[in-house]
Structures are given as C-alpha cells and as structure tokens.
Amino acid sequence: MFRILTINPGSTSTKLSIFEDERMVKMQNFSHSPDELGRFQRILDQLEFREKIVRQFVEETGYSLSSFSAFVSRGGLLDPIPGGVYLVDDLMIETLKSAKNGEHASNLGVIIAHRFSAETGVPAYVVDPVVVDEMEDFARVSGHPNYQRKSIFHALNQKAVAKEVARMVNKRYEEMNLVVAHMGGGISIAAHRKGRVIDVNNALDGDGPFTPERSGTLPLTQLVDLCFSGKFTYEEMKKRIVGNGGLVAYLGTSDAREVVRRIKQGDEWAKRVYRAMAYQIAKWIGKMAAVLKGEVDFIVLTGGLAHEKEFLVPWITERVSFIAPVLVFPGSNEEKALALSALRVLRGEEKPKNYSEESRRWRERYDSYLDGILR
C-alpha cells in the first residue's frame, strides 16, 4: 500500500489530504481570511505558517512523515512547462525561492514537499503546476511586441475536471472541446481544444474577470496614472491587482459565503458587485467560446465558487447557456488528481518528467516565437 500526502495551498485556503492507494483517508480544507494572511508582507513569508498547518494535519492522524510513500503538491510559478508529473528538484526550489516568475501560494506547497523529502528521503512530486503552457502562439500576442500573454492558471483542476467530463460522456479528453471556468480565490477561464489548453486568461495578472481577491483586467490608462501619482508604492500597486482586488476591494471580504449572507440581509451594493463578477465571468466564457469557433461540447464551472448555486451559478448560466450545456463541478478534483498521479509514478506506470529538460525545451520553442514577434 502506498500512502500519499497531498499539499495544495491556494490564495485563500490550504487543502490537504492523505490517500492510501486510491482511497482518500483524510481531507481538510483550511480557509484563510485576508486578515489572517494580511500580516505577511510576501507570500514566501507565509511558509512557516502554512508548513505548521501541514505538520499539525499529519500529526493529528498519528502517522509519521517517514511513513509516507510520496509528498505531492500543486506546483507553483516555475518556468513554463508542459503538463504532467515532475520530480521536485533543487532547480525548482531555487526558481521558487527567488520568485523570479512571481509569487503565489502554490510556490509554498512545493517548498514544503521538498523540505519533507529532505527530512525523510521520501520523494516529492509536483503535478500540472500553474505554469503549464500549451497556448497557441497566436494567443500569446498581446497587442504590443514588448508584452507577451502568459499561461498561468489552475492547470491541475482544469485538466482533472475536463478529463472527468470526458469520462462521463464516454469520450477521450483529446476528442473534446470545452470551456472550463475555475472559480476560486483566483479565476481562470480556458479553451480546451482536443486535450490542449490553447488559450486562457493569466489568473495572476490584470487579465480576466475580477475575482474574490484579484482585480482582473483594469482600465490601463487609469492604472498608469495611479502608478505615477506618488500615492502608492510598487508593492501596494501590485497588491491592488492580486490580493486586495476584486471582492476584497469592493466588499472587504474574499469569502463568497459572507457576500451571500449580506445579499440575503438586503445589501444591494454587495449584490451589485457580486452580479458584476458573474457578468465578467460570463463575458470571458464567451471569449473562449469564440476561440473554439463556437464548437463547444460543454461549459464547465468549477472551483470553490461553483458551490454557490443560489446566485453566482445561475447568473453565469443565464448568459452562457446558449453556447453549450453548462456542467457544475463544485470544489476541485485537485487532491484526487495529485494522489492518482503520484500513485502512477510509485507503481511504475508513469515516469516523472525532468523539470530542467522540459523547461529548456519549452524555452527554445518560445525563443523562436519571440524572434518572430520582435524582429
């Protein structure tokens, strides 16, 4: 029997689970309020806080870390790579600690898994990190040669849910066209064409709908004016885009359950803001349907916000159901996807990919794209 610990830190939560072979024996979702995380200047500063949660979770089960067969984490802001299972290595940790590609809570999961691995000799893996990039070169073009669109999204859950839909209708993922909207602390809306995510908003930038804690696409000239107003530091401006944007900026909370409570108490402002978020999500689904030339088998709503079926899901559905049938998969399949991926490796059914090799290969292809753009 293989025992696997999955570590999945999100912007507003830390999700942990233990699997014994295919069986989930324990799962817990720790929610973090903006106040709880607000005391940390940088995401990397949350490392000890998040690690303590993981250690306590394991201790409560009575298992020792060395009794595990693998530690597996949703991956962070590594260099872009294709999807798959990767062995955590020193280069990954260097990349994440330097934060050269930016900061996100998922960076911490990899570092924690690596620490546990160093402590016990048990291998650590990363599956479908947020930098999975299968975008068509066409979709990278931003509107100015100095800026390239990037693929940063909830690759793990997007792929896991898309494959689940394919199984449901007895087809292969590689045969289907889907628009998947993962709606959590961040939101990514992707066009899956025949098993590849050919376009997606960058969930960690001013790109996409606003979210519980992110601003999404903002009016650029106003943003530039504010940057040069002298009123805000560089860090404060960045925090307005990711962390303190969206519902947090408008309503002071990233918790949709709290927003729903306020709406039910008659708070018209909360209702208007929440409805605007649904409206923007629907618009992005429409964009991705256009990417797929309208040939969409299903629209899939997933992530923590997909639990909210009283307001959000109906408000989105009423605007997009003319495109394709809408399926709702609340929460995420991430824990299962992490554990089953590690299990395939442990059983020798799949070979883990090498990060240095895959990222170098990706870079070579990207450089030839850049040559074309910047010539």
Ligand X SMILES: CCCC(=O)OP(=O)(O)O
Ligand Y SMILES: Nc1ncnc2c1ncn2[C@@H]1O[C@H](COP(=O)(O)OP(=O)(O)O)[C@@H](O)[C@H]1O
d(CA 179, CA 196): 11
For ligand X, the binding residue among 34, 123, 184, 206 (CB under 6 A) is 184
In order of 190, 214, 225, 234, 264, the CA distances from 229 in angstroms are 35, 21, 6, 11, 39
Q: Cβ 181 to ligand Y, closest distance in Å?
A: 12
* Residue closest to ligand X, measured at CB: 186
* Residue 256 interacting entry, from ligand X, ligand Y, none, C-beta within 5 to 8 Å by type: ligand Y
Question: What string marks each residue from 288 to 327 as x (binds ligand Y by CB under 6 A) or -?
Answer: ---------------xxx-xx-------------------
Q: 355-374 and 90-98 helices cross at what angle (nearest 10)?
A: 50
Nearer to ligand Y, 127 or 346 (CB): 127
DSSP 352: P
In order of 4, 154, 169, the CA distances from 166 in angstroms are 26, 18, 5
Residues 177-196 contacting ligand Y, CB under 6 A = 184-186
* Residue 315 interacting entry, from ligand Y, ligand X, none, C-beta within 5 to 8 Å by type: none
Residues 326-345 contacting ligand Y, CB under 6 A = 332
Structure-token pair, residue 152: 């940063």
* Interacting span for ligand Y (CB under 6 A) from 8-16, 135-143, 226-234, 366-374: 8-16
Which amino acid type is present at position 27? M
Q: Cβ 280 to ligand Y, closest distance in Å?
A: 15
* Residue 341 interacting entry, from ligand X, ligand Y, none, C-beta within 5 to 8 Å by type: none
Q: Which helix (H) or strand (E) holds 279?
A: helix 268-291
Instruction: Tally the residues of the chain.
Output: 375
Q: Cβ 237 to ligand X, closest distance in Å?
A: 19
**What ranges make up the beta strands (E) of 103-223?**
124-127, 177-183, 187-193, 196-200
Q: Cβ 46 to ligand X, closest distance in Å?
A: 12
Q: Cβ 75 to ligand X, closest distance in Å?
A: 10
Nearer to ligand X, 195 or 246 (CB): 246
Place of tokens 């073009």: 141
CB 71 within 8 A of CB 19: no
Q: Cβ 129 to ligand X, closest distance in Å?
A: 9
Q: Cβ 348 to ligand Y, closest distance in Å?
A: 31
Residues 111-170 contacting ligand X, CB under 6 A = 130, 152-154
Structure-token pair, residue 361: 């290969």
CA angle 62, 65, 71 (to 5 degrees): 125
Residues 6-45 contacting ligand X, CB under 6 A = 10-11
Q: How many CB atoms lie within 10 A of CB 260?
A: 17
d(CA 196, CA 329): 20
DSSP 171: -
**What ranges make up the beta strands (E) of the chain?**
3-9, 13-20, 23-31, 70-74, 85-87, 124-127, 177-183, 187-193, 196-200, 298-303, 326-330
Question: What string marks each residue from 207 to 246 as x (binds ligand Y by CB under 6 A) or -?
Answer: -----x----------------------------------
Q: Cβ 145 to ligand X, closest distance in Å?
A: 25
Q: Which of 187, 46, 19 is nearest to 106 (CA)?
A: 46
Which residues sit at the interface with ligand Y, rule CB under 6 A?
A: 10-13, 184-186, 212, 254-257, 303-305, 307-308, 332
Which residues sit at the interface with ligand X, rule CB under 6 A?
A: 10-11, 104-105, 130, 152-154, 184-186, 203-204
